[in-house]
Amino acid sequence: MTESLTIDMTGGAAKPIEFAILVAPGYNPVDIIGPHTLLGVMPGVNLHLVWKNTDEVMGTPTFPTRPTTTFDECPADLDILYVGAPGHAQFTDTETLEFLADRGSRARWIAGSCLGSLLLGAAGLLQGYRATTNFGAVHFLPYVGATYAPGNVVEDRNRITAGPATGGFEIGFRLLQDLYGDEAAKEAILQCEYAPEPLFPVGSPELAGPELTAIAKAHLEPSLAPLTEIFEKVGARLGVAG
């Protein structure tokens, strides 16, 4: 992308697009930066990096970031509510969950990538929906009343979820398509030069095979293991069997 990229487009944006991205302590910038940039460069988009306050938060890995908008200041009616992988503390943080539940109750699109899907779920926003998340965490989806569905991007009514990293870009292209039309989505794909060529074709458990997948899951285990207890509580609170 370039310093002042703007894309003219017709239709669909008569009033501002209100776009809120959660940036909580421990958040993973890699999950949010695709949609952040794809939509943030569009004319008529009001971009909000939201958190409880505008004190600097630390990303994972190290990425000191200052939110632009507090929960209180965030527009009540959002066009897009977006969440990437958060810090674990947010899965049980009442203020965060209430904010997401409130804005999600009215948002045009509710989007989450990687463990961000599960945070939306913990806020009660995925009950009865098909969804996806990080491949190592799909077993947590039932705890929030969601049903796992395969695919890079899973769309069920106005919920749209994806895996980590480039999952966010692919959600972004789909949201551009919905909000600005096919031509805008196509142009964004070209402007991003989104024609990826993985160095090795192992970007999913199916492609990677059981051996590499087992290694990857074992390496994820220390960070995901604490989520079992957390999601049992989340499931109980939501009244979901899990």
Tell me which residue has tokens 């972004």.
Answer: 172
Shortest spacing between CB 7 and a second copy, in angstroms: 5
Q: Annotated catalytic sites, by residue?
A: 114
From candidates 156, 187, 230, 242, binder to a second copy by CB under 8 A: 187
Amino acid at 201: P
From candidates 51, 82, 99, 135, binder to a second copy by CB under 8 A: 135
Please identify, among the stretches 4-12, 95-103, 104-112, 120-128, the one whose residues bind a second copy according to the rule CB under 8 A: 4-12
**Distance (Å, rounded) from C-alpha 205 to C-alpha 72?**
41
Question: Any residues with CB less than 8 A from the CB of 162 and at least 6 apart, and which?
Answer: 112, 113, 114, 117, 132, 152, 153, 154, 168, 170, 171
* 148 is a site residue for a second copy (CB under 8 A): no
Closest C-alpha to 42, from 21, 17, 23, 67: 17
Shortest spacing between CB 236 and a second copy, in angstroms: 22
From candidates 106, 212, 228, 232, binder to a second copy by CB under 8 A: 212
Shortest spacing between CB 21 and a second copy, in angstroms: 10
Shortest spacing between CB 148 and a second copy, in angstroms: 14
Please identify, among the stretches 70-78, 103-111, 123-131, 216-224, the one whose residues bind a second copy according to the rule CB under 8 A: 216-224
Question: Any residues with CB less than 8 A from the CB of 9 and at least 6 apart, and which?
Answer: 42, 43, 180, 181, 183, 184
* 161 is a site residue for a second copy (CB under 8 A): no
Phi, psi angles (nearest 5°) of residue 170: -70, -35
Residues of 40-53 as b/e, b for ≥16 C-beta within 10 angstroms?
Answer: bbbeebebbbbbbe
* 47 is a site residue for a second copy (CB under 8 A): yes
- Between helix 166-180 and helix 29-40 the angle, nearest 10°, is 20
From candidates 72, 77, 222, 241, binder to a second copy by CB under 8 A: 222
Please identify, among the stretches 74-82, 94-102, 122-130, 188-196, the one whose residues bind a second copy according to the rule CB under 8 A: 188-196
* 145 is a site residue for a second copy (CB under 8 A): no
Shortest spacing between CB 105 and a second copy, in angstroms: 26
By the 10 Å C-beta count (0-12 exposed, 13-18 middle, 19+ buried), 158 is classed as: middle
